[in-house]
Every structure is written in C-alpha cells, then in structure tokens.
Amino acid sequence: MDKDVAVLKRFAEYAFESLERTCKDLTEEEAEWRPVDEANNTRWILNHISRITNTSLPRALKGDSDYAPQGWPENYREETYSVEKMFRDINDGKTVVEEAFDVLSSQDLAMEVSGWRGPRKRELALFVYIGEIIGHKGQIAAIRGDIKRRRDKDPEFLA
C-alpha cells in the first residue's frame, strides 16, 4: 500500500476507534437525551455517522456516486434505530471502507470523484468524510460529558 493511502487509512481507523471508545456503554436513554431542544441527540448523530460510513466514504473510495450496500434502505435517515443496530451498521461500513483503502494508490487519491457538493479530488473527499466522523464523535463526547456532570449532581438522571 502506498504511504499516502496508508496514512489516510490509519486516519480512518483512528476515527472509528475513537468513536467506539467515546460510545462505550452508551444506553438507549443516553442516546435520546439532548442538552437543549435545538440540539441533535446522540442517536441522530450516530445515524448520520452510519450514513457517512456506509455510503459517503465508500462512494468516494470506490469512485461510484451511486454506491450503497446491498439492502441499504433509502430512508435510513428518517428511521429510528437502536444504538446496537447503528453500531452494527457502522462496523459493516467500516469493513467496506478498510477493504476499499487496500486497493487504492496515491494516483487514485488525485482523481476526481462525485459528491453531494460536486466533483472534488478523492483525497479531499476522504479527509472531509473522515473528519466528519471525528467532528461528530466530539459532539457525542460533549453530550456524554454533560450527562456525566448531571449524574454527578443527580445519580438518578437518565437512570
């Protein structure tokens, strides 16, 4: 594997590992809680990360703007899934992402791919989507931190 591709693959692996650590032992109740009515809850954020992992990243990696995993529902965004199911979906997508990195070369990174914002270099698209996972993981960490601080004051909070 080219060095450039290996670095991007490791960046993706880090993003997934970090997400998993942040969400360890996440409950359904915690996934529903939001600090203010206008905020996204963790369940919505995980749904978004699952869509990135299963469609956006593989589309950029494969250069196929129509890619979706077999059986992927078109209305995934609108559905409410359990935390367990979304993590299964994220892990399934992660496997596809890791395998797709294994067949890329540095030359492939310079190619343009289609995306929802129009064509862009594959390398940039990969940075953007992996960065999305990391950024949204940070949102989940903030929400979980809020929950912890609330529980420090009230052990019955979301119990």
Contact at 8 Å (CB) between 39 and 125?
no
What is the pLDDT averaged over residues 95-101? 97
- pLDDT at 122 exceeding the cut of 90: yes
Q: Which residue has the tokens 């469609």?
A: 55
**pLDDT at residue 90, rounded to an integer:** 98
What is the pLDDT averaged over residues 60-85? 96
Domain edges within the chain = 3-153
Q: Which band of pLDDT confidence, cut at 50, 70 and 90, is reported for residue 116?
A: confident
What is the pLDDT averaged over residues 26-54? 97
For 6-29, write each residue's pLDDT tens digit: 999 999 999 999 999 999 999 999
- What tokens were used for 141? 């960490």
Residue 56: DSSP 8-state: I
Q: In three state form, how does the secondary structure of 64-131 look?
A: CCCCCCCCCCCCHHHCCCCHHHHHHHHHHHHHHHHHHHCCCCHHHHCCEECCCCCCEEHHHHHHHHHH
What is the pLDDT averaged over residues 98-104? 96
Comparing CA positions, the residue from 97, 101, 42 lying closest to residue 67 is 97
CATH architecture of 3-153: Up-down Bundle (1.20)
